């Protein structure tokens, strides 16, 4: 848990911490709406200038009290790990979709997702680096639920078809094998009918100081 200087123990109590977390997630969601509004807006230039001034003021308000790093990996109140500041799954990070990853009894992972207009790469389609980032995370999660958490050593991505934004997609991944600290994982992003758009294989390496649940 990260505490701000001057924060009272009462403010840091579990209930208040969760309410604050929910507020940050709402702020993150509203900021995602803002990002898409910015990339899609067609309002006149004077309105763009006026909105920019309001945003500069809002940015200043948030910057009056800043952390030194985004919120880290932690256990939520239900015991499920979460990482609010993460670029892929972070509810409090406007850059994140956020991806909601579920693990199955077979220790595979899945996530329903829809990319946004702000993820555009080639005109009308999702940027290949964004797809790779999602797969990197999902493959890492699959390695972790298989008992071999690690850092990405290599990630190989095959782009089979362009990826649309604004449409429901399904991403899945599973562990294939492990040798010592090395774990191989496969995954893909597909249309709901199963048509694979992007597929990836990755080698994840458990750093020597890590345990089975990650850094110690």
Ligand X SMILES: CCCCCCCCCCCC(=O)SCCNC(=O)CCNC(=O)[C@H](O)C(C)(C)COP(=O)(O)OP(=O)(O)OC[C@H]1O[C@@H](n2cnc3c(N)ncnc32)[C@H](O)[C@@H]1OP(=O)(O)O
Q: Which helix (H) or strand (E) holds 111?
A: strand 109-113
Q: Which residues fall within 8 angstroms of residue 68, CB to CB, at 6 or more apart?
A: none
**Residue 145, interface with ligand X (CB under 6 A)?**
yes
Please, are residues 65 and 4 in contact by the beta-carbon 8 Å criterion? yes
**Residue 208, interface with ligand X (CB under 6 A)?**
yes
In angstroms, give the least distance from the CB of 183 to ligand X: 10
Q: Which listed range, 15-23, 26-34, 116-124, 174-182, lies at the site for ligand X (CB under 6 A)?
A: 174-182
CA distance 172 to 162: 18
Closer by beta carbon to ligand X, 57 or else 75: 75
CA distance 69 to 98: 18
In angstroms, give the least distance from the CB of 16 to ligand X: 26
Instruction: Using CB positions, name the residue nearest to ligand X.
Output: 140
Please, are residues 147 and 212 in contact by the beta-carbon 8 Å criterion? yes
124 burial type by CB count under 10 A (0-12 exposed, 13-18 middle, 19+ buried) = exposed
Closer by beta carbon to ligand X, 126 or else 143: 143
Q: Among 181, 190, 191, 199, which residue sits at the site for ligand X (rule: CB under 6 A)?
A: 181
In angstroms, give the least distance from the CB of 103 to ligand X: 7
**Residue 95, interface with ligand X (CB under 6 A)?**
no
Closer by beta carbon to ligand X, 84 or else 125: 84
Q: Vertex 38, ends 32 and 41: CA angle to 5°?
A: 130
Per CB under 6 A, contacts with ligand X among 118-137 are 136-137
Question: Given the rule CB under 6 A, which residues bind ligand X?
Answer: 81, 136-137, 140-141, 144-145, 151-154, 180-182, 203, 205, 207-208
């Amino acid at each position: 848990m990260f505490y701000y200087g001057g924060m009272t123990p009462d403010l840091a109590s579990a209930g208040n911490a969760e309410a604050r977390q929910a507020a940050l997630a709402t702020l993150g969601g509203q900021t995602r709406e803002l990002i898409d509004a910015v990339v899609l807006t067609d309002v006149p230039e004077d309105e763009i200038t006026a909105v920019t001034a309001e945003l500069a003021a809002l940015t200043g308000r948030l910057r009056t009290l800043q952390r030194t790093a985004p919120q880290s990996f932690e256990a939520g109140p239900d015991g499920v790990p979460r990482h609010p500041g993460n670029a892929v799954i972070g509810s409090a990070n406007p850059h994140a979709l956020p991806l909601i990853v579920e693990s199955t009894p077979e220790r595979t992972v899945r996530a329903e997702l829809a990319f946004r207009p702000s993820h555009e790469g080639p005109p009308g389609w999702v940027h290949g680096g964004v797809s790779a980032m999602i797969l990197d995370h999902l493959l890492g999660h699959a390695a972790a639920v298989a008992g071999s958490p690690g850092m990405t050593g290599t990630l190989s991505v095959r782009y089979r078809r362009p990826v649309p934004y604004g449409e429901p997609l399904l991403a899945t991944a599973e562990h294939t094998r492990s040798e010592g600290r090395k774990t191989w994982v496969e995954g893909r992003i597909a249309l709901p009918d199963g048509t694979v758009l992007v597929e990836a294989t990755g080698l994840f390496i458990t750093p020597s100081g890590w345990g089975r649940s990650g850094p110690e």
